[in-house]
């Protein structure tokens, strides 16, 4: 019993150190950090300008039942969610690189889990993204005078955003693990990412698209990564719907985590460490 | 001078040959990338189809014309991967990897950029552009001429070269400030999707900005207006493009000469 507790504690501190290392690396280049710091506000300002000009240029008040402010608020939260999860979207490339060049060998012979390492390392980076995106979400809420958004909605949004980050990690890790069976994953990764933009509502609100596209979206994990946190972040949902959405996200995490663990286990048997 | 140009042209062909071998190593991936390109173009078309649900026209742009704009927009980013070395430059500088190029009888910046070209991206761009523009031209019956098509491609190439020079410019700041990817993120113009919109919609001042300072107009809007024969100022657009390109080339050359003096190969 005491040994178990000690193991859990040691494990916790081991991965916490990984998170700290990532944070130190991130902080090493301060101008690089500042560049990324101003990226999101610039992106959000351009977004407003673009939609303002489209509405003005077309001389319309509403676009598919969305006013300019409503549409901007939608894309604002889409960008916040996208920025918060951005590091994990690239993790498949890192895994491809590690498998192809034999980098995972060092993890296989050390008392550290490769997948947990990648998760906590990524978290070290993501926490800086959250330092920017979460305050911007709160500022946006105040600026747009979103009456529907209460304190509990904000807490629900943060919970949903966290689940979205975890879903993104597992989903992209799965794509990365395909490397055990194929030579390259770049095409697959980009294709899934771009197709996902349609089904997740990242390209355009799902209400703008034919109904069957939205239905297909619910059968795939893309909604858990973008549409659900965005819908909760807009504060238009009832509490029951919010709980239902959070449950869907949890179910997807369980499914993707189980698949990742299983595929990682199968993949290790095929691993040849050619570059190791 | 001519000997130098011929020598560099021959070197580009050699780099293309080497990169082609690397690219064709992953054939299945190349085919998937080709379909991915079509999906990227479709994203733009779906976007405009949704927007056009409410109206027939966006200023003086019709939906059919915005399809070509979308094709040029996605092609521009695929072509810019020919200069993918611009993204890797900060890493090469901080890790001391420039040593390799400095000891060769070739311009180090030229070699560093050309060595990292992603030919498979460029090829998929060329192939998909040809296919999609033919399909769109047949479907929407555009009134086009060979001269206009060729000129629009030239303008697109000029635009890609300008944006790549801008990326190199920001990457070169690594000589002074260490890792400069943060600055490059600002220039990660794909994220802003400027190429998805005709620059006319941004108004007079921003149109100038997007022509002169951040010339994304040369990636999609100007090639499209020339392709569709919507402009009577083709020569002016071309000459302006060459002027902006030459200006960025001079700026980058100057910065490289100053920066390389600070290179310490600390990672080497």
Give pLDDT, residue B61: 86
Predicted local confidence at residue B237, as pLDDT: 92
- What single string gives the DSSP state of each residue in A161-222? HHHHHHHHHHHHHHHHHGGGTSS--HHHHHHHHHHHHHHTTSSS-GGGS-HHHHHHHHTSTH
Q: How far is A29 from chain B (nearest CA, A)?
A: 6
> What is the gyration radius of the CA atoms in chain B, in angstroms?
19
Give me A136's structure tokens: 């911007």
Considering only the beta carbons, identify the residue of B26, B47, B185 that sits closest to A36.
Answer: B185
Tell me the per-residue pLDDT of B38-72, one tens digit each, with 9 for 90 and over. 888 888 888 888 888 767 777 788 888 889 999 99
Cα distance between residue B190 and residue A67, in whole Å: 26
The tokens describing B46, both together, are 């779906």
Query: Is the Cβ–Cβ distance between A50 and B197 less than 8 Å?
Result: yes
B34 Cα to chain A: minimum distance (Å): 8
Quote the tokens at residue A85: 């999860």
What is the tens place of the pLDDT at every residue in B113-170?
888 888 888 888 888 888 888 888 888 888 888 899 999 999 999 999 999 999 899 8
Which residues of B are less than 8 Å from A43 in CB distance? 191-192
How confident is the model at residue A276, as a pLDDT? 44
Structure tokens at A96: 């491809």
Closest Cβ–Cβ partner in B40, B47, B54 for A60: B54
Residues of A in contact with B183 (CB under 8 A): 31-32, 35
Distance from CA of A186 to the nearest CA of B (A): 7
Closest CB to B29 among A32, A33, A183? A183
Residue B245 structural domain: 2-260
Query: Touching check for A27 and chain B: CB below 8 Å?
Result: no
Verify whether the Cβ–Cβ distance B51 to A49 is below 8 Å. no
Reported as a single tens digit per residue, the pLDDT across A175-195 is 999 988 887 888 888 899 899
Backbone torsions φ then ψ of B118, nearest 5 degrees? -105, 85
In chain A, the largest separation of any two C-alpha atoms, in whole Å, equals: 71
Domains of chain A, residue spans: 2-269
pLDDT attached to residue B190: 65
What mean pLDDT, rounded, does chain B reach?
84
Please check whether residue B220 lies inside any domain of the structure: yes
What is the rounded radius of gyration, in angstroms, for the C-alpha atoms of chain A? Answer: 20
Q: Is B58 on the interface with A (CB under 8 A)?
A: yes
Residues from chain B that touch A195, judged by Cβ atoms under 8 A, are 39
What is the count of structural domains for chain B? 1
Position B265 in a domain: no
Q: What is the pLDDT of residues B78-107, one digit of tens each?
A: 898 888 888 788 888 888 888 888 888 888
CB < 8 Å from A in window 164-193 of B: 177-186, 188, 191-193
Considering only residues B178 and B150, tell me which one the structure prediction assigns the higher pLDDT.
B150
A17 and B CB contact within 8 Å: no
Q: What's CA B158's distance to the chain center, in Å?
A: 8
Kindly report the nearest CA distance between residue B121 and chain A, in angstroms: 10
- A211: chain B residues, CB-CB within 8 Å: none
Task: Looking at the complex, report in whole angstroms how far the Cα of residue A52 sits from the nearest Cα belonging to chain B.
Answer: 9
DSSP helix/strand/coil, A85: coil
pLDDT tens track, chain A, 276 positions: 666 777 777 777 777 787 777 777 766 666 666 776 777 788 888 888 888 888 888 788 888 888 888 889 999 999 999 989 988 988 999 999 888 888 888 888 778 888 998 999 888 888 888 888 899 899 888 887 666 668 888 899 999 999 999 999 999 999 999 988 887 888 888 899 899 988 888 888 888 888 888 888 888 999 999 999 999 998 888 899 999 999 999 999 999 999 999 999 999 888 776 544
Residue B110 has pLDDT above 50, yes or no: yes
Structural domain includes residue B147:
yes
ipTM of this complex prediction, to 2 decimal places:
0.79
Residues A7 and B68: their CA atoms lie apart, in Å, by 60
Q: Is A67 on the interface with B (CB under 8 A)?
A: no
| B172 touches B184 (CB < 8 A) | no
Residue B205 predicted with pLDDT over 70: yes
Take residue A76 and report the two structure tokens written for it.
């604002």
In terms of DSSP H, where are the helices of B81-103? 85-94, 99-102
**pLDDT confidence tier of residue B186, bands split at 50, 70 and 90:** low
Q: Is position B268 within any domain?
A: no
Half-sphere exposure of B114 (CA within 13 A, CB side): 18
Res. B221 pLDDT band, cuts 50 70 90:
very high
Which of A34, A43, A209 has the CB atom closest to B191's CB atom?
Answer: A43
Cα(B231)–Cα(A174) distance, integer angstroms:
48
Residue B268 is predicted with a pLDDT of 43
Q: Under an 8 A CB cutoff, do A63 and B25 touch?
A: no
């Amino acid at each position: 019993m005491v040994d178990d507790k000690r193991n859990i504690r040691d494990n916790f501190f081991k991965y916490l150190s990984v998170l700290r290392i990532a944070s130190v690396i991130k902080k090493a280049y301060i101008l690089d950090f500042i560049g990324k710091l101003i990226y999101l506000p610039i992106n959000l300002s351009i977004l407003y300008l673009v939609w303002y000009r489209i509405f003005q240029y077309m001389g319309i008040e509403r676009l598919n039942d969305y006013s300019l402010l409503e549409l901007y608020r939608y894309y604002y939260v889409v960008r916040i969610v996208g920025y918060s999860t951005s590091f994990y979207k690239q993790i498949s490339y890192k895994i491809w690189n590690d498998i192809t060049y034999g980098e995972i060998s060092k993890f296989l012979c050390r008392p550290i889990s490769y997948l947990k390492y990648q998760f906590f390392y990524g978290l070290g980076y993501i926490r800086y993204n959250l330092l920017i995106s979460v305050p911007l979400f709160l500022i946006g809420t105040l600026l747009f005078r979103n009456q529907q958004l209460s304190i509990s909605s904000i807490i629900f949004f943060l919970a949903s955003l966290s689940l979205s980050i975890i879903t993104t990690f597992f989903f992209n890790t799965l794509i990365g693990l395909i490397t055990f069976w194929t030579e390259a994953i770049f095409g697959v990764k980009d294709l899934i990412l771009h197709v996902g933009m349609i089904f997740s509502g990242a390209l355009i609100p799902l209400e703008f698209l034919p109904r069957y596209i939205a239905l297909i979206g619910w059968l795939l994990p893309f909604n858990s990564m973008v549409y659900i946190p965005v819908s909760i972040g807009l504060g238009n949902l009832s509490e029951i719907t919010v709980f239902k959405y959070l449950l869907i996200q949890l179910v997807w995490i369980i499914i993707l985590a189980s698949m990742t663990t299983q595929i990682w286990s199968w993949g290790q048997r095929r691993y040849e460490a050619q570059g190791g | 001078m001519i000997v130098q140009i011929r020598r560099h042209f021959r070197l580009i062909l050699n780099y293309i040959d080497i990169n082609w071998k690397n690219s064709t190593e992953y054939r299945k991936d190349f085919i998937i990338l080709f379909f991915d390109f079509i999906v990227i173009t479709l994203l733009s078309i779906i976007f405009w189809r949704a927007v056009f649900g409410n109206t027939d026209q966006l200023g003086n742009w019709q939906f059919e014309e915005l399809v070509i704009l979308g094709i040029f927009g996605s092609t521009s980013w695929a072509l810019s991967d020919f200069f993918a070395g611009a993204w890797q430059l900060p890493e090469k500088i901080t890790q001391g990897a420039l040593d390799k190029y400095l000891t060769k009888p070739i311009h180090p910046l030229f070699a560093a950029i050309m060595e990292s070209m992603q030919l498979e991206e460029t090829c998929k761009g060329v192939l998909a552009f040809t296919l999609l523009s033919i399909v769109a031209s047949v479907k929407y019956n555009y009134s086009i001429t060979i001269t206009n098509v060729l000129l629009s491609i030239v303008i697109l190439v000029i635009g890609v070269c300008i944006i790549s020079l801008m990326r190199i410019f920001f990457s070169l700041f690594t000589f002074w400030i260490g890792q400069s990817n943060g600055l490059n993120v600002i220039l990660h113009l794909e994220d802003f999707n400027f190429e998805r919109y005709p620059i006319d919609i941004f108004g007079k001042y921003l149109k100038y900005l997007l022509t002169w300072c951040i010339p994304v107009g040369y990636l999609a809007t100007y090639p499209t207006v020339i392709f569709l024969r919507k402009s009577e100022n083709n020569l002016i657009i071309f000459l302006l493009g060459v002027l902006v390109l030459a200006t960025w080339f001079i700026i980058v050359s100057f910065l490289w000469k100053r920066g390389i003096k600070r290179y310490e190969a600390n990672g080497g």
